[in-house]
Structure 1
C-alpha cells in the first residue's frame, strides 16, 4: 500500500516550493536490497553489487535503493564534499502502480484499455532526465522538494522541471493514452509524479519493478504492456531503456538544467503527426534519421 504523504510548503531562494514528506520504513528497503539485482546503474559501465559491511555503505545503499539516474558521477546524498543525483536498486518484477495502488496484473503490466482510449496511441513517457532532473544537491530554483526519511534521516530530493513540460504533458494527455514508465522506484517517483501531473495525464504509472533487468540495464519491455506494439511509442533519454523496441522510440537528449531547452515543445508537431497516421514506424524512422 502506498504511504500517505504529508504536504508542506518550503522556500528555496525565495520561491514557494511544494513538498511531499514520505516516511520509509527500513525493513522494506532491506528486503529490496537483498534482491539479486541490487546494484547501482551506471550507464556504459559495469554495475556494482550492494554490500553491507559498514554503516556508510549500508546507508548509501539505502539511498541508492530509492532512485535511478543515468549519470555515472552520481552517488549519494550531499556530503561535505558535495554530490548529486539519484541512483538505485530494484524490487520484484511484475506489478503496476496506478493511483498509488500496487497489485499484480498477471501476464500484462497494464489493465485493459479504456473504451475512450481504444483508438488512441499508447505513449510511454520516461521521468528522470526526460521530464525532470532530480538531485540530492540543493537546486536553488527547484520546482519541488520531496523529503524522504530513511532510518530516521531525512534526505531532501530537489526536483527541477524541464522547460515546457506542463504544456507538453497537457497536450499529450489530450491526444494519447499516456503511461509513465520509469526505472526509478515508486518511493521516489510516485510523489514526484503526484506533483508533476497536474492534469492526471498518466493513465498508469510503472516503476523499477516493471522493468526487465538485461545486460546490466533496466529495460522497458513494451511487449509486456498489453497493447498493440504497432500502436506504442516510447519517449526516453536512455537508449538502454528501449533496446528491445528501438523502432518504437522517440529518443530525447538528457536534460539537467538548461532552462533554454525546447526539446519537449519541439516534439509536439511530431506527436500531432503520429496521431494522424496508421503507420507510426515510417514517421518515427524519418524523425530519428532527420
Structure 2
C-alpha cells in the first residue's frame, strides 16, 4: 500500500507548483464560499431568506468498483453539464450511538480532520506538533502533524456548545492516534473514518443521513466540497490549511457558531448556514 493512501487530503498548491484544472475549480469554490466572519449572526440571518427544498434520499443502485488508492478528495467530478446526485438510502443501523443525555437538545457538528484541523505529511517537518508512527505493510512510517492555529480554542468552544463528531476520510490507523493527541478534552463524542464514508464517483462522501441524528440539526465543517456533496445545505466550508501560521479561520468561526447555538428553529438554522456560505 502506498504510504500516502492512509491520509485523505487535498493537494498543497505549493507542492504542486501549478494547479490542475479540477483543483482550480475547487479553489475557486472554496474562495467564493468564504465569508467575512466578523459580521454578526443576526446580520447573516436576515441577509438571505432563500428556502431549501431537499429531495428525500433515493435508493442507491450504484455498483461502482472498490475505490483505488488515490486519496485526493478535493473536488466534485462532473460528467454532463447538469449533474444528478444520488443520495443513498439511510441504513437501518446508524453510524453514531444513541444520543447521550448530556447532549440532548444539542445540534450535532461533524468536523473534518485533514486540512481543516491539521495538516499531515510523511516528509519531516521541523516544527511538527505531533509525530505519529503508522505501520504500513510491516514497516513503521513517521507522520508529521501540524496543528492549525487556534485549533485548541476552537475545539474547546465547540465541545461546550455541540455534540461534536470527528469524521475523516483517512484511515483509522493514522487518524485515531492523531485525534488522541489533538483532542485532549474529549470533545469528540464519536470518531468516524474512511469505512464510514460512501465512495461516490471517485470521492469519499460523508453521508449525514447515516449518522442517526435529525438532519436539520446536523452541521458539517469541511474543507472539501466533495465530502458533503449529498448535503451541501448543511455545510460550513473552510479554506484548506497547510502551513500558514497566521491563519485565523477557526478563530473567526467561533462567533458564528456561538450564534448558531442560540437558534432553535431548523428553518432559521438553514437560513444562517446559507447566508454564511454565499454572503
For normalisation by structure 1, the TM-score amounts to: 0.67
Q: CA deviation at 1:89?
A: 6.5
Normalized per residue, the structure richer in helix is: 2
Contact 1:132 1:160 in 2 (8 A): yes
Structure 1: gaps of 5 or more residues:
1-60, 76-86, 91-104
- Distance, in Å, in 2 between the alignment partners of 1:160 and 1:280 is 32
Contact 1:67 1:88 in 2 (8 A): no
**Any idea what SS the aligned residue of 1:255 has?**
coil
Moved more, 111-120 or 143-152: 143-152
- Distance, in Å, in 2 between the alignment partners of 1:146 and 1:213 is 27
Match of 1:284 in 2: 273
Q: How does 1:147-186 map to 2 (within 5 A)?
A: 147-186=133-172
Match of 1:231 in 2: 217
Aligned match of 1:213 in 185, 199, 213? 199
Change (3 A) 1:224 1:272: same
- Distance, in Å, in 2 between the alignment partners of 1:166 and 1:106 is 35
- Distance, in Å, in 1 between the alignment partners of 2:146 and 2:191 is 20
Normalized per residue, the structure richer in strand is: 1
Q: CA deviation at 1:62?
A: 4.2
Aligned match of 1:127 in 108, 113, 128? 113
Change (3 A) 1:127 1:266: same
Q: CA deviation at 1:72?
A: 7.6
- Distance, in Å, in 2 between the alignment partners of 1:146 and 1:126 is 18
Contact 2:110 2:218 in 1 (8 A): yes
Q: CA deviation at 1:153?
A: 2.6
Number of residue pairs the alignment of both structures matches: 205
Match of 2:26 in 1: none
Question: Is 2:72 the counterpart of 1:112?
Answer: no
**Any idea what SS the aligned residue of 2:119 has?**
strand
Q: CA deviation at 1:287?
A: 0.8
Contact 1:63 1:88 in 2 (8 A): no
Structure 2: gaps of 5 or more residues:
17-67, 72-90
Q: How does 1:72-83 map to 2 (within 5 A)?
A: none
Change (3 A) 1:195 1:88: farther
Contact 1:186 1:208 in 2 (8 A): yes
Contact 2:197 2:206 in 1 (8 A): yes
Question: Is 2:233 the counterpart of 1:247?
Answer: yes
Q: Structure 1, residues 56-79: CA drift from partner, whole Å, max 9, x if none?
A: xxxxx242442212218889xxxx
**Any idea what SS the aligned residue of 1:160 has?**
strand
Moved more, 118-127 or 150-159: 150-159
**Any idea what SS the aligned residue of 1:127 has?**
coil
Match of 1:68 in 2: 8
- Distance, in Å, in 1 between the alignment partners of 2:242 and 2:113 is 12
- Distance, in Å, in 1 between the alignment partners of 2:253 and 2:205 is 23
- Distance, in Å, in 1 between the alignment partners of 2:230 and 2:177 is 28
Contact 1:67 1:89 in 2 (8 A): no
Q: Superposition RMSD on alpha carbons, in Å? A: 2.0
Structure 1 runs (4+) greater than 4 angstroms displaced:
72-75, 87-90
Q: CA deviation at 1:106?
A: 5.6
